[in-house]
Each structure stands twice: as C-alpha cells, then as structure tokens.
Amino acid sequence: MLLGKGGFGVHSFGRVIRTAIMKENPSVSVALASDYDTVVRGGISNCHLIVSDEPCNPVVEGKPDVIIHYTASWAAVRTRDEVCYLSIPGEVTRHISENVRGYVLLGMLVARGYLPLSKEAVLAAIEEDCKAIPIQSKNRNAFEKGFCL
C-alpha cells in the first residue's frame, strides 16, 4: 500500500510500480486499487497494489504486507518485520523540484531492496507511464539520482 498526501504522485507511483512488477515477472497478476480522500489536492491518497500468482481483483482485504508512506522529502517503509525511514539529503532537495522528489525516493527504495525491482524495469515503467518527453526525462533523472544515493 502506498500512502501520501494528494498531489505527491501516489497514484502515478502505483502505476509505475505495477508496470515494473509486470515487466519483471509477466506471470504474476497485479491489481491496482486507488482511494481518494474527499479533498482533491492536499488530502490523503492511498494506492493498493495486490500482487498474486493467481488472477486477482483490486479488492483490498486484510493488512498489507508492505506500507510505503511518503511525502516530498522522506519515506517510511513498514513491513511485518521492520520499519525503515529514508530521507532525501538536504543538498539534493535544494536542487530537485518538489514535483519529482518522489521519484528520488522511488530510486532509493529500489536501490536498497525495499521494492524488489530492477532499475531497468522501473525506468521502462516510467517511460511507459509518462508520454511527455520533458517530464519523462525529469522523472527518469530523479529516479537515477535516488538510485545512486
């Protein structure tokens, strides 16, 4: 489950992660279920990804195995066994616009193994999700920056 404030790209990241999972392992089924708060921008947004070996519906049942809660500069990853906090260093935050900082965090999550995906699969998913070349380039560069941190 991805949690974040509305406007920080929760649903975009859900789509990118879903696409990357499907690229890495075409035999699994991935369902995406999005929840929106009553506030359009600024409220809480949730994105549930259900990954299964069997065909699955985007019906959320029980507690998630992994929760990623993020803002524009940090992420908390909660699994059943641990909690980890990742923060974008201040010098990086100053040089990267707020609207792509989530991709920096995504790179950090993949590089540290909290999202068991290859760098190549995520980059391909970013390219597929975002058709506008200038924005796609910014998102890819931010992900690469986070992957190297």
76, 88, 97, 139 from 142: Cα distances, Å: 19, 11, 9, 5
Cβ atoms of 96 and 142 within 8 Å: the answer is yes
Give me the average pLDDT of each 10-residue run along the chain (149 residues): 74 90 92 70 77 79 84 86 91 83 91 94 94 92 94
- Looking at residue 120, its pLDDT comes to 97
Q: Which domain holds residue 8?
A: 2-148
CB 13 within 8 A of CB 34: no
Residue 42: predicted pLDDT? 62
The CATH number covering residue 131 comes to 3.40.920.10
- How many domains does the chain divide into? 1
pLDDT for the residue 33: 83
Please report the pLDDT score of residue 7 as a whole number.
Answer: 61
Q: What is the pTM of this model?
A: 0.86
The residue with tokens 């069997």 is 54
